[in-house]
Amino acid sequence: MSGIASDPPRSPGAFRQFGVFLLNFLRHPLSVGTFAPSSPFLVRRLLRSGDWSRVQSVVEYGPGVGTITLPLLRELRPDARLLAIETNADFCRHLERHIADPRLIVAHRSAEAILSLMQEHSLPPADVILSGIPFTTLPPPLRERILDATVRALDRSGRFLVYQYTRAVERHLRERFERVVRSVEWRSPWPIQIFVCEGPQAR
Ligand SMILES: C[S@@+](CC[C@H](N)C(=O)[O-])C[C@H]1O[C@@H](n2cnc3c(N)ncnc32)[C@H](O)[C@@H]1O
């Protein structure tokens, strides 16, 4: 089902990825949220959650060192676009240096800027928004702005995929989506909560 663009993505190497990630966790523990990138089990599970061949416009919040970004690009069609929004400058540089793919846009901004970024890059409403940002440790007003903007940025039939260490964000998701299905990935240093949210409802 996958379509690879003219310049296939290259892997930056797991050891290097881990080093960059750990260093940035030590510098910014609250925004990075964990000491290691997502496990291969979580990545596979998130990628199995949908038919990516139907997807045209994807947004990833908090791509980090590209642990999900790279395999996701392998699944996406040649004409798809992936907007990766990341607040950490080191991670943005790492992504730009190691993922040469014309479908990828890396934005060094906060996820709350999603609507203006989509407009800037002429992107249609998102089919999927994938989020790894640690909502539990974000200031609540920022969390609210991000979730409200997410609902507005999604296509009506779009999905919001969220993975988190805790269930704290669940009630805020249920306030904004008609359907929220939760599952757990246990094969990780700490169990990961996964929320698949459908039916965005503007408040
Ligand atoms: C738990 S890490 C996930 C990294 C990567 N997606 C993975 O699965 O390994 C959280 C990421 O969210 C980023 N982040 C935190 N707050 C953010 C915000 N408001 N907007 C965009 N990215 C943010 C952090 O810099 C970090 O890269």
Query: pLDDT tens-digit profile of 45-69?
Result: 999 988 899 999 999 999 999 999 9
C-alpha–C-alpha distance, residues 118 and 128, integer Å: 13
Q: In this structure, is residue 145 part of a structural domain?
A: yes
Ligand 1, atom 18: nearest CA belongs to which residue? 110
Rounded to 5 degrees, what are φ and ψ at 105?
-115, 120
C-alpha–C-alpha distance, residues 22 and 38, integer Å: 12
Residues 127-163 have pLDDT tens digits of: 999 999 999 999 999 999 999 999 999 999 999 999 9
Q: In this structure, is residue 10 part of a structural domain?
A: no
Q: In this structure, is residue 20 part of a structural domain?
A: no
Phi-psi region of 77 (alpha: psi -120 to 50; beta: other; left: phi over 0): beta
Q: In this structure, is residue 144 part of a structural domain?
A: yes
CATH of the domain at 122: 3.40.50.150
Q: Is the CB of 134 under 6 A from ligand 1?
A: yes
pLDDT of 25 > 90? The answer is no
pTM: 0.91
Q: In this structure, is residue 97 part of a structural domain?
A: yes
Q: Is the CB of 88 under 6 A from ligand 1?
A: yes
Q: In this structure, is residue 141 part of a structural domain?
A: yes
Total of domains in the chain = 1
| Rounded distance from Cα 133 to ligand 1 centre (Å) | 4
Domain, as residue range, for 103: 38-200
What pLDDT, on the 0 to 100 scale, is given for residue 12? Answer: 59
pLDDT band for position 2 (50/70/90)? very low
Q: In this structure, is residue 191 part of a structural domain?
A: yes
What pLDDT, on the 0 to 100 scale, is given for residue 103? Answer: 98
Region 26-43 average pLDDT: 87
